[in-house]
Structure 1
């Protein structure tokens, strides 16, 4: 690959990573897919293949590698222990999203990626390329190797399945700022054990979801109802105050949330909040250590004891830290 190819290919990495991550929900797998596509380009060049459109070549390679990957990934997820959530993409609470990793990260929320799990590999590719990345049907057809008419049918079916009954958040800058401010108040109320304030910020149908993958402590049966969830959150903050766990506010997959660290600075968990119409509709917590390693050294605080084959009712850990935050 020539130096000009390398420079151009490097410029496409954020887009390629976004497509691969949207297909897999895994940071590590997405990085591997992008690297495989780059290696494929090198081999094609060495074999004398003429690549006239570098972006189209790499995008097609990443899309088809993602479709192939999902075949084996689907088998693994059928045996996954507990709720499945994607590996979190984390950016500072203030400032732009993680453009160095995923240029459209705000469109790849945890809730959206979980909904995509219901789609078959080609459906997922067609829907994501069209809905998130804005590709036209002729381009989508080339990327997935199907006819344009077939892609239109696939997209219509997929869109109906994904959006059925799911309110779409308002991602305008003003709404994002409101959501971030509400998240700050939410964590402050949890840190202070303010049950009434927590309940006022929770939607009537709020859900609490923890992904431990059988390796970290999560709730065997998540609580339902605002009062039960508010009490659990306040209790978790009390517990982790004693353990020295803190939460740094962050944007997680384009949504308000935070990264939790133990007293030694190791990652304990990542939490993302879904906020619609001024209420928290879902709190998602990733505690599976395998899904946190790309963020740094992982703590052993939340790990299940090797001799314990049950899922302990300790729930996803929460806490918070200054500056601009609240100590539990």
Structure 2
């Protein structure tokens, strides 16, 4: 119920559900289902002594069930899979509905979590990201505390094998990231190769998610000059078609949203920045992953197969 004390838990619940699914729409559905379950339990006369614990448990278990069914779909996904972006416009930096997410779950981190099984993902995320104790993790997941410790240790080894750095962005550097993003996209849109090359790490990688439904690269592109040329060509083409770039926070880090001439969402760009250099660029163009941001452009959409 809007305005009820239970609503204060919604940002946390969304963050857990989004961390489990990587999907804004699915996360919102899971959270709504959890609240519906709470309402039904109360209507049936059940006394819920700790609504936060009830909702957290419901969201986590719904997320585990969702991931079990989603794994088959992920295995047949066309090209790179990236999470649905959570975007906060740079010109609207006030409190966001999903504020607890911004400093916790970057796109890079969510991609790493894809290597984990659903229960491993839940245990690892509750412990690593949200700081739950093992007793609480055990209660939420329905596993023993000893088992949760084993699951966490195993999951952490698997994630660390792919990345020695665990976690999301550094909140204190967000303003710096926004200014960096503004200069970066100005250089790219203006074709300033020297400025662009200076901001890209030598081993930078460009990744794109079109899901087989939008025009984008089908494999990662490594290398500073290759990525710079790709950006300049892509943004020049988009600019010639009337597209505009608006800097934004994307999953708590620097990025931008491209809109077509009619203001519809064309693509979302997210960047990993370290030591003043862009390490990775990720673009989400799959129209199925952009609908929560507003009307989606047809400019990059591929024709439906006959």
- Would the TM-score normalized by the shorter structure come out above 0.5? yes
Q: Whole-Å Cα distance in 2 between the matches of residues 191 and 11 of structure 1?
A: 41
Cα pair distance change 1:43/1:173, threshold 3 Å: closer
Q: CA deviation at 1:38?
A: 1.1
CA offsets per residue over residues 129-164 of structure 1, 9 Å max, x none?
111111111101100011111111111121122133
- Gaps in structure 1 of 5+ consecutive residues: 309-328
Q: Which residue of 2 aligns with 1:233?
A: 231
How many residue pairs end up in the alignment? Answer: 305
Q: Work out whether 1:107 is the aligned partner of 2:101.
A: no
Cα RMSD after superposing both structures: 2.0
Q: Work out whether 1:38 is the aligned partner of 2:38.
A: no
Which one of the candidate residues 49, 54, 72 is aligned to 2:51? 54
Q: Work out whether 1:71 is the aligned partner of 2:68.
A: yes
Q: Which residue of 1 aligns with 2:21?
A: 24
- Gaps in structure 2 of 5+ consecutive residues: none
Which one of the candidate residues 84, 87, 105 is aligned to 2:84? 87
Q: Which residue of 2 aligns with 1:208?
A: 206
Cα pair distance change 1:283/1:60, threshold 3 Å: same
Confirm or deny: 8 A CA contact 1:274 1:280 kept in the other structure: yes
Confirm or deny: 8 A CA contact 2:80 2:218 kept in the other structure: no
Which one of the candidate residues 165, 172, 177 is aligned to 1:179? 177
Q: CA deviation at 1:108?
A: 1.1
Runs of 4+ in 1 over 6 A off after TM superposition: none
Q: Secondary structure at the match of 1:66?
A: helix
Q: Whole-Å Cα distance in 2 between the matches of residues 61 and 92 of structure 1?
A: 31
Which one of the candidate residues 144, 148, 166 is aligned to 2:141? 144
Q: Secondary structure at the match of 2:13?
A: helix
**Given the two structures, how large is their TM-score scaled by the length of structure 2?**
0.94
CA offsets per residue over residues 62-94 of structure 1, 9 Å max, x none?
010100110001111111111101111000226
